Amino acid sequence: MNITELARQVHLSTKQLREVMPYLGFDIGGRAIKVDARIANAVIQKLNSKSKRDKVLREVFGSKEENETEQKKSGEAETKEGEIKIPPRIVVKDLAKKMGIDVTKLVVELMRQGVMGSLNDTIDFETASIVAQDFGFSVLPEVKEEDDTEEVSVAEKVLQDAVSESSTPRPPVIVVMGHVDHGKTKLLDTIRVTDVTAGEKGGITQHIGAYQVEVSKTETLKNVPTNKLTFIDTPGHEAFSLMRSRGARIADLAILVVAADDGVQPQTIEAISHIKKAELPFVVAINKVDKPEANPDKIRSELAELGLNPEEWGGDTVMVEISALKRKNIDLLLESLLLVYELHKDEIKADPDGPVVGTIIESHVNKGAGAVATVLVQNGTMRIGDSVSVGNIIGKIRSMKDWDGNSVSEATPSMPVAILGLKGAPSVGEILRVGLQGRIAKKVARKSRKKSGINKLLSRGGAKDDDSEVVLSLIIKADVLGSLEALQESMDKLDLNGSRISIVSQGLGYITEVDVLRAVDTGAVILGFNAQATHEAEVLARTHDIDIKTFEIIYDFLDYVSEKVSERLSPEVVRTDIGRFKVIKVFRQDKDGIILGGKVMSGELPETAQLELSRDKRVLGRGEIVELQSGKEKVTIVAEGQEAGLHVSGFEEVEEGDELIIFSETKKTRDVSN
């Protein structure tokens, strides 16, 4: 239980509760954010009446009058130091902005309190409240506390309803996380003896996949109820943080991979944050120990600084030194995972005979087979012939294949399978249910379609009050939904200098003639990500002079989009002041311009410069130099302190004593960055 919630239940301030806890025999430390449920219940029992509470307060703070004075002083101090309102969940950098402090200080303070969060991570009200109070702020909730329950995912709610008392332990689902290039995919490749890395572009896993393996039973594992482990491979770059977060929410255990030759990196900390948020038991795999420059003890020290103390140092974090390349200690890693699972097996249960619930891990459109979705079954047993619904999509399972491509007739809890039979490609993270029939299923689908349509409108910036200029219209085709979502999220992070990208349409599969005709009508650019154009589409595109660009690496895709946006943005005009010229004599004013004489007061006067006429500190107009003379000779530049004669154009009139500001302007392409 969060300490702020406990304080609320016993009618004390958080500060008072921290001081009362040691008196009651529970010393949780001055910076603790959460307390054990057993301790929380004991505290509630000891303070469950006003008389008991007042007695404890008198013992801790002295007389009632002194206590009230203490509270008053505390309240006055908080008011002086500032009061902020915090919503149920807030992004770390937004909290820093509210408090007016550097975000780095806030991240350091969170890490000191055991919360691993980067500047773009979200923390709950209780965590934000405690850390804000530590910085001297009084905190008020921005919305009602009960709204905080919205963060519970649909999957969790459905599973809570589906899992029954007859549930039994199921194989654990394991998510693999860590910094890019630290060997996550190679580790999975080694575990399932399948070459995945060789087929990936840019060395980065770009789709989530799921695989199940069996571990040889040993004497150590004799009490473990299963020897099967299901692995989810999450992408290893920030562009896929959305998919990685979803992977963490459906997993039971985690492997944190850290390279022994590289150490803790930004995405290592990000991965720890995801694991902590999902409250996942985990094992640290210190990879690449076969390298000469490997230093496992250095990794242990760096992780210990983040609050992950190794078992061998008296902590409670299991760390295994491995080499995925040399297959060193892989069996020990799997055995460690099963032992950690054994400690939590009572929480990892499912009812094979109960309602079928699953989560979509991946989906795409196959030209010959139609929509293909990878489902991780979380409860019940899914069979061929079952009627299913996923969000706004319904269907009937026609085929199921396991991770090795073998056809199967049923899928039990924790088993990932690819299914055919859905009437569309569902979104990653959506919940699959079995059993909705006929009109009921169609009604659910219509309701979900209506809701998703509104969400898409909002997410694409289609609201009427969005008056930013559309500079680039896109038609995007991708191979799988995970890629499409990652592209959308990455484009949302582009700094468009007040303009925006309009996604005319997006979908899965080949680029077709329909896409080309839509591009002709809208002026959109067609982009494919791991998706190619049909021959007919290419011919039609050449006829209508439509460009089709395809990409296999997300960075290339984003670089191209940034380049196209930069080309279409009006250039930025950069002005540089060069000097000042004082008009001493006006010789002639006619339709061909004005001839005048004067002196360069500061800077210099080149013949290519532009001029701005200033009188009594008011700008009256702009002009340019037709001819520049010094000492009756034509010159190209006049230095500071020298006199010159000018033939200028663009001014209606110039008077003696006026000042000409000398400047130049250059046009600069506005860059778009993420």
Cα separation, 351 vs 431, whole angstroms: 17
The interaxial angle of helices 535-543 and 513-522, nearest 10 deg, is: 30
Count Cβ atoms within 10 A of the Cβ of residue 551 and give its class: 0-12 exposed, 13-18 middle, 19 or more buried. buried
Tell me the C-alpha distance between 470 and 488, whole Å. Answer: 16
Tens-digit pLDDT profile for residues 634-645: 998 999 999 999
The two structure tokens encoding residue 61: 């703070």
As a whole number, mean pLDDT of residues 248-264 equals 86
Q: What is the 3-state secondary structure (H, E, C) of 365-400?
A: EECCCEEEEEEEEEECCEECCCEEEECCEEEEEEEE
Strands (E), 134-293: 138-141, 168-169, 173-178, 209-214, 228-233, 253-259, 282-287
pLDDT, one tens digit per residue, over 370-417 is 788 889 998 999 999 998 888 778 889 999 998 888 899 999 999 999
The token duo for 495 is 């700094």
Identity of residue 399: S
Q: Residue 337 pLDDT more than 90?
A: yes
With a cut of 50, say whether residue 191 has pLDDT above it.
yes
Is the model's pLDDT at 443 over the cut of 80? no
**Residue of 31 and 299 predicted with greater confidence:** 299
- 131-140 mean pLDDT: 81
Q: Which residue has the higher pLDDT, 451 or 478?
A: 478
First to last CA, the chain: 38
For residues 108 and 26, the answer to whether their CB atoms sit within 8 Å is: no
Residue 117 in this model has a pLDDT that exceeds 60: yes
Taking a C-beta distance cutoff of 8 angstroms, is the pair 204, 235 a contact?
A: yes
Q: Are 479 and 428 in contact (CB under 8 A)?
A: no
Query: CA dihedral defined by 73, 75, 81, 87, rounded to 10 degrees?
Result: 160
Q: Is-contact 3 32, C-beta < 8 A?
A: yes
Please state the rounded mean pLDDT for residues 296-311. Answer: 92
pLDDT digits (tens, 9 = 90+) for 601-622: 999 999 888 999 998 888 888 9
Window from 12-21, 492-501, 603-612 with minimum mean pLDDT: 492-501
Tell me the per-residue pLDDT of 618-633, one tens digit each, with 9 for 90 and over.
888 899 999 999 888 8
Contact 633, 622 (CB under 8 A): no
- Percent of the chain residues topping a pLDDT of 90: 23
For residues 121 and 91, is the Cβ–Cβ distance under 8 A? yes
Among 14-23, 341-350, 427-436, 467-476, which range has the highest average pLDDT? 341-350
The pLDDT assigned to 148 comes to 34
Q: Which two tokens stand for residue 588?
A: 């002639």
DSSP 472-485: EEEEEEESBHHHHH
Higher pLDDT, 45 or 146: 45
Say if residue 81's pLDDT is above 50: no
Q: Does the global pTM surpass 0.75?
A: no
DSSP state of 280: -
Please report which confidence band the pLDDT of residue 584 belongs to, taking 50, 70 and 90 as the band edges.
very high
Q: Between 134 and 226, where is the model more confident?
A: 226
Question: At 485, is the secondary structure helix, strand, or coil?
Answer: helix
CA pair distance 279, 13, nearest whole angstrom: 27
> pLDDT at position 237, please?
40
Nearest to 527 by CA among 544, 510, 550, 509: 550
pLDDT of residue 147: 37
> What local confidence, expressed as pLDDT, does residue 292 receive?
93
Confidence label for 508 from pLDDT (cuts 50, 70 and 90) = confident
Q: Distance of CA 75 to CAs 15, 56, 58, 129, 262, Å?
A: 11, 20, 19, 15, 48
**CB-based burial, 406-421: b 16+ in 10 Å, e otherwise:** eebeebbbbbbbbbbb
Write the CA distances from 102 to 31, 99, 538, integer angstroms: 20, 9, 52
Confidence category of residue 158, pLDDT binned at 50, 70, 90? low
> How far is residue 451's CA from residue 455's CA, in Å, rounded to a whole number?
6
CB 520 within 8 A of CB 548: no
Contact by Cβ (8 Å): 60, 23: yes
Mean pLDDT, the chain, integer:
78
What confidence tens digit (pLDDT) does each residue in 549-573 have?
Answer: 999 888 889 888 888 887 777 677 8
- What is the mean pLDDT of the segment spanning 524-530? 91
Name all domains of the chain by residue range, CATH numbers in brackets: 3-145 (no CATH), 171-347 (3.40.50.300), 357-447 (2.40.30.10), 469-568 (3.40.50.10050), 572-668 (2.40.30.10)
Which of 42-46, 331-335, 618-622 is predicted with the least confidence, judged by mean pLDDT? 42-46
User: At residue 592, what is the residue type?
Assistant: D
- Summarised one tens digit per residue, pLDDT across range 459-490 is 333 333 344 455 788 999 987 777 787 788 78
Determine the pLDDT at residue 52: 75
* Pick from 154-168, 209-223, 425-439: least confident: 154-168
Mean pLDDT of 233-257: 62
Tell me the two tokens of residue 11.
């009618």
Give the closest residue to 176 by CA, choosing from 243, 256, 272: 256
| Separation CA 130–CA 139 (nearest Å) | 9
Q: Are 568 and 472 in contact (CB under 8 A)?
A: yes
Contacts of 510 (CB under 8 A, 6+ apart): 367, 477, 531, 532, 533, 534, 537
Q: How sure is the predictor about 165, in pLDDT bands with cuts at 50, 70 and 90?
A: low
Predicted pLDDT of residue 452: 46
**Residue 546, C-beta contacts closer than 8 angstroms, at least 6 positions apart:** 516, 519, 520, 526, 540
